[in-house]
């Protein structure tokens, strides 16, 4: 699986579980974006600024959200396999090399860029999971299995035992999600 470079910008329409829109802007080692959506009775806008190392492991994250309750900001930093959230050590996140935002289809690109996948062989990829409504952070257990690849796309089975959830994710050749069932569809 050989990925091409990321585009300078991309966007998704969020439908199904939520109604909204997400935009992404990229630069070497950096992903910046924002999702504004309504999910059930919650309405929120979540921004992210993610810094990744040369191997695509997350090194720093700045998360911002706006809700009816006000504005919040959270900072995550990873040093080796140890994380801090707003300066406080978080040993429950040890071993996580990626961040995953509840509000985003983009963060699924991190393990896809970072790991070498072999079709049919599942890889466990725990992540520091950031909630949309309050920016709380928890450990997310997840697994990716490459099902097939072609010159146009990569198809993975994604599952999260944390949420008893599974689906098929389709990525373009740059490693960005094209289709995340019941969550988001790439529109640019």
Q: What is the tens place of the pLDDT at every residue in 134-184?
A: 999 999 999 999 999 999 999 999 999 999 999 999 999 999 999 999 999
> What is the band of 1 on the pLDDT scale with cuts at 50, 70, 90?
low
Is the pLDDT score of 185 beyond 90?
yes
Distances (CA, A) of 74 to 40, 49, 83, 85, 164: 23, 11, 13, 7, 27
2, part of any domain: no
50, part of any domain: yes
136, part of any domain: yes
Convert the pLDDT of each residue in 98-127 to its tens digit. 999 999 999 999 999 999 999 999 999 999
58, part of any domain: yes
Which residues span the domain enclosing 174? 9-186
- What's the rounded Cα separation, in Å, for the pair 164 and 144? 14
15, part of any domain: yes
1, part of any domain: no
Enter the pTM of the model: 0.95
65, part of any domain: yes
Q: How far is CA 161 from the centre of its chain?
A: 16
Positive/negative CA dihedral, 35, 146, 61, 49: negative
Number of structural domains in the chain: 1
4, part of any domain: no
Angle, CA of 122, 33 and 142, to the nearest 5°: 20
- What's the rounded Cα separation, in Å, for the pair 140 and 126? 5
% pLDDT > 70, the chain:
98
Q: How many residues does the chain have?
A: 188
């Amino acid at each position: 699986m050989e990925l091409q470079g990321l585009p300078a910008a991309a966007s998704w329409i969020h439908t199904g579980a939520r109604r909204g829109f997400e935009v992404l802007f990229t630069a070497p080692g950096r992903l910046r974006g924002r999702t504004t959506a309504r999910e059930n009775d919650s309405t929120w806008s979540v921004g992210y600024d993610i810094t990744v190392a040369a191997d695509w492991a997350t090194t720093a994250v700045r998360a911002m959200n706006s809700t009816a309750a006000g504005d919040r900001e959270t900072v995550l930093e990873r040093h080796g396999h140890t994380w801090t959230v707003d300066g406080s050590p978080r040993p429950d996140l040890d071993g996580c090399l990626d961040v995953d935002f509840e509000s985003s289809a983009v963060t699924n690109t991190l393990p896809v860029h970072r790991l070498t996948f072999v079709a049919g062989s599942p890889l466990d990829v725990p992540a520091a999971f950031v909630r949309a409504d309050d920016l709380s952070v928890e450990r997310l257990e997840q697994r990716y299995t490459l099902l097939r690849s072609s010159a146009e796309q990569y198809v993975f089975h994604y599952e999260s035992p944390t949420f008893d959830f599974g689906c098929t994710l389709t990525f373009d050749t740059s490693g960005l999600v094209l289709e995340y069932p019941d969550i988001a569809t790439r529109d640019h």
